[in-house]
Chains A and B, each alone.
Chain A
Amino acid sequence: MESESLTVQKITLPKKEQVVVHPRKPIHWKDYLVKFGFYVGVVGIWELIALFHVWPPYILPSPVSVAQTLYYGFEDKSLLFGIGISMERLIIGYSIAIVLGVLLGLALGRVRYLEQSVGSAVLGLQTLPSITWLPAAILWFGLNQAAIIFVVFMGSFLSIAISTEAGVKHIPPLFIKNAGILGIKGWRLYWEVILPASLPSIITGMKLGWSFAWRSLMAGEMLFVNLGLGYLLQLGRDLNDMSLIFAVMVIIVAIGMIVDHLIFGLVEKAVKGRWGLLVEEH
């Protein structure tokens, strides 16, 4: 008896109990090299075509002239100004969409009557391209910033709400049960359990919402000419300045890629890693 209790004290943990460290994927420089080579090739061919004047410059500007336009645009701050205006509209509309979308999604995911009533409307309205809200928005808000912000908002609001709802519904029932056992109720249940538990879905919705918002902003700015990047695109058309059009398109692609891949990519990876969604079963 005595010796038995002694051996118990001495038990050491087997190796299995050590922390599992997931090795990071090594960076494949070759992949990046291939990518880089491809883009250099594309620009090179483009420059060649422009050099040989296959098409006149107002149809196809040379990459050099596009680069020049970009350079001068940043130097005289006209492009920066355009980016600033567009980003301001985007951030305001998108932020409101995140807040209201997450709230609506939580409500839809938790209240069955809401899901049956409002939920069907949300799904229906989601099919509406958000730019179609522009005429109504102009009549409601007038010819000003608010109309465009509304279009941006409508672009991302519903997709964020739908993703949030899906996230809430897919929370493992044991999480909710366990929260109840641990005395987590009311607002604490939403803030400390439901919201973080559905965060991966919310981020997916935000990513989707961002791309919808970005597209509707551009469409809105082009239709309803009032500064911003879309306006610069239209300006390029009006002035027959193809390199300005190309330059603005380059900027739009660059912003889209930075936000999509860098910001959302990293956030998504971090969240999914912590939530244990990236870990393969051994």
Chain B
Amino acid sequence: MINKGVIAELRDGVKKAVKGDRPAKPPKLHLRGISKAFRSVNGDTTLALQDINVKIREGEFVCIVGPSGCGKTTLLNIVAGLDRSGCGEVLCNGKRVKGPGMDRIVMFQESVLFPWLNVRNNIEIGLKSRGLSKGARRQKALDFLKLVHLSKFANAHPHELSGGMKQRVALARSLAMEPEVLLMDEPFTALDAQTRWILHYELQSIWEKTGKTILFVTHNLREAVCLADRVIVLSSRPGRIKQEYHIDLPRPRDDSSVEVAALATEIMGILRGEIEKVMKEELDEGSCKECDVKCVGAATDGRKLPAPVSPHGK
């Protein structure tokens, strides 16, 4: 026990040291001036993301929160290479992201396990792309299943698993790919509170064991505070970085603990105004359309950006 405490202290010390000489080391993930506009069916253009700049260092756990429709998922998809940004670029390990790659594995809200494969083969199918031999694949799949406490279910099929178990398999599959960055798109949103609570603990302990860099998107503020080193708050559409929080609470954190709740409430104070904006827009369709019209002709060329347009400004 004493050893554990000492190790924890040492680790904190190391973390601080890393923080100290941050400029020397390039960030693991660097989002530089990301903007993105969508064109709707009637030809209008809507700005979804505007000038997002984020640096994430190795081993950091970053959560992105924001009101619904603020472009959180779009941002994650851009990092994953599943979506293209209008302008700006994403650098992973200093290399520019051009499309989906095995260095950035995404976990979705749904587990997306292949139903025709058993749990072990669902993990192995990704490892095949890594060029591992059959024996190595099998061993690795079993190792990571152990990490998520599902060794017993290696030969089960996805339809036999509960939602929480499926997400654990998805987590094991993502981790087994040994990505540089793990991208998580509201992975626990579809689960019940109990299962989510357990997975929050497990994800923290797995993160501490593996030291993965994680970018996590959620609309659940407690989840964000519970998991992250740093919480980035996005504004309502177009999504801009509104505020950043460094969370220094001791781990493992509990999403229902007082400290977590207090911080979540504080962030909620920031977000409330943004959520109200979204609500007004949704209730009052007229002003929303006006906003779309004002954004026309910009940002789709990928270089020029319009000035931020307030949905209610005339």
Binding site for B on A (CB under 8 A): 1-2, 4-5, 8, 11, 13-14, 16-21, 172, 174-175, 177-178, 180-185, 188, 192-193, 196-197, 199, 273-276, 279
Contact = CB atoms under 8 A, between A and B. Distances in A.
Contacts of A193: 114
13 contacts: A1-B250, A8-B252, A11-B198, A17-B162, A19-B156, A20-B162, A174-B112, A175-B112, A175-B114, A182-B126, A182-B129, A184-B125, A192-B125
A188 B194 contact: no
B184 interface: no
B126 A183 contact: yes
B116 A17 contact: no
A17 B165 contact: yes
Given A17-B195, A20-B160, A196 B116 contact: yes
Contacts of A276: 115, 158-159
B5 interface: yes
B112 A199 contact: no
Q: Which 8 A-B pairs have the closest CB atoms?
A: A183-B129, A182-B126, A276-B159, A196-B116, A178-B112, A275-B115, A183-B102, A180-B100
A188 B8 CA distance: 45
Nearest to B130: A183
A181 B106 contact: yes
Interface in B106-131: 106, 108, 110, 112, 114-116, 125-126, 128-130
Interface in B221-255: 250, 252, 254
B177 interface: yes
Nearest to B102: A183
Interface string B203-217: 001000000000000
A174 B158 CA distance: 16
Contacts of B250: 1
Given A183-B130, A192-B125, A279 B159 contact: yes
Contacts of A192: 125
Nearest to B192: A16
